[in-house]
Amino acid sequence: MKKTAQNQYKKKYHIASDKSLAIEVQALTKRYNPDVLALNGLTFSINRGEIFGLIGPNGAGKSTAVKIMTTLSRPSQGKIRLYNIDATQYPKKARHLFGYVAQQSGVDGESTGRENLMLQGRLYGLRGLRLRERVGQLLTQFNLIEAADRLTKTYSGGMQRKLDLAMGLIHRPQLLFLDEPTTGLDPEARTSLWKMIHHLAEEEGLTVLLTTHYLEEADQLCNRMAIIDQGKVVKQGTAGELKAELNGDVVHMEITETITESRATTILQDISGLDEIIVEASTLYVRTNRGAEQLPTLINAIKSANIEVQSATISRPSLDDVYLRHTGRIFAENEEV
């Protein structure tokens, strides 16, 4: 492209200077109605080739953010750039850049895997040999070649999800949005999908944004992640960075009754060296540098307040602890069953 043409293109599609970014989300707000502010200044950016996770409690705004990024919904305020294209202003232009795999499967059960892919390809303007070759390539890549000509209603959940993923990739996008890609899959199918997503980013340079209800998924798969709560980012970084902010040990204690955080703080107030006390119903989380040493003292203090300790464990901080710290909720409570 000649320089003047390049400048005109840049001007037209608001191309920013930073070429290393795949997604820039700036101060996004979304108000569904006067009472629901689903996004409240959501800001983050994702590098090209990165797998990035959005994690957060139910209603945090994850799906709303994905719908806006994929141009299916408009923000009340804020900006989104996908590969430097202003997606709110030029949604059509942006749509060719990405594939989107929604939380609910988009596979038609009354058609075969191959037919589903052919139809998806046609929607993106692929025809003839090019389309057939691309479909064959994806069926092979996702280990669906043997099942290609069977109705997809006979597929397992894992196979359907693979087909969803293949459909999202038919037009060779640079960016893939996955809204809860592995929810409802058994552990084996989940691991198999992780491998495929990892391969796509690593070998093919695809940028992936996923939302997940599984912290383990974010830990295993994502280069970086953002914890979002009430429509904004409360913490972001690599899994290691997030865990590193919690030094020392975490003591988890199950007690026989539900108590408030202020009561727990009062009960434990004479014990020195406790960095943080969080209470979630009848579980106490205490962060300290000397977990093993302080465990008997902690248990005695609780017993002295006439509360029974049912179990106590000491562990290194996990992503669950980071999540609890920033959202005030236990992650497991958010998992859909």
Ligand X SMILES: Nc1ncnc2c1ncn2[C@@H]1O[C@H](COP(=O)(O)OP(=O)(O)OP(=O)(O)O)[C@@H](O)[C@H]1O
Binding site for Mg ion (CB under 5 A): 62-63
By CB under 6 A, tell whether 244 contacts ligand X: no
By CB under 6 A, tell whether 236 contacts ligand X: no
By CB under 6 A, tell whether 181 contacts ligand X: no
3-state SS assignment for residue 312? strand
**Per rule CB under 6 A, count of chain residues that contact ligand X:** 11
Closest Cα partner for 30 from 70, 82, 67?
67
Q: Which does 87 bind (CB under 5 to 8 A by kind): Mg ion, ligand X, none?
A: none
Q: Which is nearer to ligand X, 61 or 317 (CB)?
A: 61
Q: Which is nearer to ligand X, 50 or 179 (CB)?
A: 179
Query: For the sheet containing 224-229, what is the strand order?
Result: 98-101, 175-179, 207-212, 51-55, 224-229, 232-237
Burial annotation 14-49 (CB, 10 A radius, 16+ → b, else e) = ebeeeeebbbbbeebbbeeeeeebbbbebebbbeeb
Distance CA 106, CA 337 (A): 21
Q: 45, 47, 63, 220: which one contacts ligand X (CB under 6 A)?
A: 63
Distance CA 12, CA 123 (A): 26
Q: Which does 64 bind (CB under 5 to 8 A by kind): ligand X, Mg ion, none?
A: ligand X
Q: Which does 99 bind (CB under 5 to 8 A by kind): ligand X, Mg ion, none?
A: none
Q: Which does 162 bind (CB under 5 to 8 A by kind): ligand X, Mg ion, none?
A: none
Distance CA 141, CA 196 (A): 9
Distance CA 300, CA 82 (A): 56
| Measured distance between the N- and C-terminal CA atoms of the chain, rounded to whole angstroms | 52
Q: Which does 134 bind (CB under 5 to 8 A by kind): ligand X, Mg ion, none?
A: none
Least distance to ligand X, CB of residue 218, Å? 13
Q: How many CB atoms lie within 10 A of CB 297?
A: 17
Eight-state DSSP code of residue 155: S
Q: Do 139 and 114 touch, CB atoms closer than 8 A?
A: yes
Q: 28, 52, 64, 264: which one contacts ligand X (CB under 6 A)?
A: 64
By CB under 6 A, tell whether 297 contacts ligand X: no
Q: How many CB atoms lie within 10 A of CB 96?
A: 14
Q: Which does 283 bind (CB under 5 to 8 A by kind): Mg ion, ligand X, none?
A: none
Structure tokens at 119: 């139809």
Q: What is the x/- site pattern for ligand X, positions 23-62, by CB under 6 A?
A: ---------x---x-x-----------------x-xxxxx
By CB under 6 A, tell whether 102 contacts ligand X: no
Q: Which is nearer to Mg ion, 94 or 178 (CB)?
A: 178
Phi first, then psi: give them for residue 274, nearest 5 degrees. Answer: -90, 125
By CB under 6 A, tell whether 230 contacts ligand X: no
Q: Which does 288 bind (CB under 5 to 8 A by kind): ligand X, Mg ion, none?
A: none
Least distance to ligand X, CB of residue 83, Å? 24
Q: Which is nearer to ligand X, 60 or 170 (CB)?
A: 60
Q: Which does 294 bind (CB under 5 to 8 A by kind): Mg ion, ligand X, none?
A: none
By CB under 6 A, tell whether 113 contacts ligand X: no
Structure tokens at 293: 């040493």
Can you give the binding site for ligand X, defined by CB under 6 A? 32, 36, 38, 56, 58-64
